[in-house]
Amino acid sequence: MSKERENANMSIQEKTVIGFIGIGVMGKSMASHLLKAGYSVLVYTRTQQKADELLAAGAVWKETVAELAQESDVVITMVGYPSDVEEVYLGEGGIIAHAKPGSHFIDMTTSSPLLAQKIYAQAKAHGMHALDAPVSGGDVGAREARLTIMAGGEEEAFEAVKPILAVMGTNIVLQGAAGAGQHTKMCNQIAIATNMIGVCEAILYAQKAGLDPERVLTSIEAGAAGSWSLSNLGRRMIAGNFEPGFYVKHFIKDMTIALEAAQEMGLMTPGLALSKQLYDELAAQGGENKGTQALITLLASM
């Protein structure tokens, strides 16, 4: 990159104020990358303490969603549930009611495709631009800035914020109109849901057969069985590390959305239904705040 272009990019970054709402396991890393890239970052989350490290690094705290929206050119949200997304965007004290015309919104929460379409329509009616852009890659992808980002919305809005998305991810694809990003994330979660059962069963089988599961993993991850979950979460299972890179409770939320959307389309998803049933049982046993790899503890007890 030429020095002139680099300076021009830095000038754009310095002038663009990004508001980031939701400083959780992934949001914290994502907002940190934006700070390091030179953007001015405003933050809001329900528990201010979660933002302490970002504030120490130069982010600016805002007391309300409304205040953050008023002062931001781009607002990124990474919250928990569709109800949170709806409140943050469409509530009286929400983003759309208080943002400036021309503002861009990027909801990176895994949420409802129908809600994404509703937010897009409301934003457009107010002269604003909304994208649904859920992510995949977990806490590791967030920390290493190599998230997969699946976007839905207008191409012009997508291109306008793509440099910002590129700070947080490496596989960034516009899937179609509003809601398409969320539908793509449902495909992702459906594929993961049954794969997680397979990963757990493979490791348990290796242990029962008297094999070294780590050595087994080294062999099978390089072949047709290879997957992100096998290589990353499989190793956490073997180590007994059930800390959340992605919460069980949030995965249940995602599977619920996917099941409802599939039913609306008249699609049978028996593998997804089984996975949700197992995760519901894990949550009922007190595992809702563990990482999704904790499913192995449930299967091991059966």
The alpha carbon torsion through 198, 199, 202, 208 (nearest 10 deg) reads: -120
Query: Is 185 in the active site?
Result: yes
Radius of gyration for the alpha carbons in the chain, expressed in angstroms and rounded = 20
The interaxial angle of helices 155-168 and 27-36, nearest 10 deg, is 90
Write the DSSP string, 32-78. HHHHHTT-EEEEE-SSGGGGHHHHHTT-EE-SSHHHHHHH-SEEEE-
CB atoms within 10 A of CB 11: 11
Catalytic pick among 185, 253, 276, 290: 185
Tokens of 12: 């754009």
User: Helices then strands (H, E): number in the chain?
Assistant: 16, 9
Write the DSSP string, 144-191. TT-EEEEEES-HHHHHHHHHHHHHHEEEEEEEESTTHHHHHHHHHHHH
Catalytic residues: 185
